Amino acid sequence: MAADYPQILPIGDAAFLVLFADAISDGVNDAAVSFCRRVEEARLPGIIETVSTSRSVLVHFDPLTHPFHIVRQRLGEMLAQHDDTGNAEPIHRRCWDIPVCYGGEFGPDLPDVAALLGVSEADAVTDHQSTAIRVNMIGFAPGVLYCGLLGPRWDLPRLQHAKPNVPAGSVSVAVRQTVIYPLAYPTGWRTIGRTPLSSFDPLADPPMRIRQGDEIRFRAIDADEFAALSADRKRLAFSETRDSPS
């Protein structure tokens, strides 16, 4: 029997995970973003922090001041008051233009990805930048953008062994998603390019301008443009602004 969603799952004795589905989709992501915002705006007593993911919301609370069962009851009441899965609150999306230098030293796994897709490297690049994709979540470290979903043929497996380090700005793919790393990190995903721009600046206010729910459109650049843009890594250009739940 299929599980009913949303589910409120205990995470230790000081947090709940509100899970909206067992798979990622735009509608599920809308629901997670919408519910997270509603909890934040409600300012429920005892809530310390909320963290929204691709398909869930982690709600961290203080069990010393607000009992476990009371917080769960309040979350259940909020879910009953509004159907986030069928009628998510409208999300103000911004579309970001992200230049990427594909292949070569910038994307050493592009030949492997193209072979797995059954296309040329040029066609793989064209397909990757053909449509805007959603920023589904930000994690596992500050500014790491998980974007999707790409077309079904991009359902590529992760590497069998993680790379110990990829350069800042690396653009990597797996399981129909694209991850952008603002700093050097290990990864088990295939790196197809690199952007000279950064999605995280700890000295800026705010340190992350791109938000969950925004959209990304990749734009292929050459090595010369990469070098020119590298002089100003903080610069991110809006390509579009709109209010839409889709």
DSSP structural state of residue 109: T
Percentage of the residues of the chain whose pLDDT score is greater than 90: 79
Which residue range is the domain that position 37 belongs to?
A: 7-81
Give 1's pLDDT tier (boundaries 50, 70, 90).
very low
pLDDT bracket for residue 239 (50, 70, 90): low
Q: Do residues 151 and 206 share a domain?
A: yes
**Separation CA 103–CA 119 (nearest Å):** 14
pLDDT at 184 over 60: yes
Q: Is residue 42 part of a domain?
A: yes
159 touches 172 (CB < 8 A): no
Average pLDDT rounded to a whole number, residues 39-55: 95
Residue 2 lies in a domain: no
Domain closes at, from 40, 60, 81: 81
> Can you tell me the distance from the alpha carbon of 177 to that of 145, in angstroms, rounded to the nearest whole number?
10
Residue type, 244: S
Task: Retrieve residue 186's tokens.
Answer: 């290990």
Amino acid at 44: L
Q: Which residues does 64 contact at the CB level (< 8 Å), separation at least 6?
A: none
Model-level pTM? Answer: 0.88
The residue whose two tokens read 């797995």 is 116
Q: Domain check: are 71 and 130 in the same one? A: no
The pLDDT, as a whole number, for residue 110 is 98
How many domains is the chain built from? 2
Task: Give the count of alpha carbons within 13 A of 111, CB side only.
Answer: 3
Taking only the tens place, the pLDDT of each residue in 125-159 is: 999 999 899 999 998 888 999 999 999 999 999 99
CATH number of the domain where residue 35 is located: 3.30.1360.40
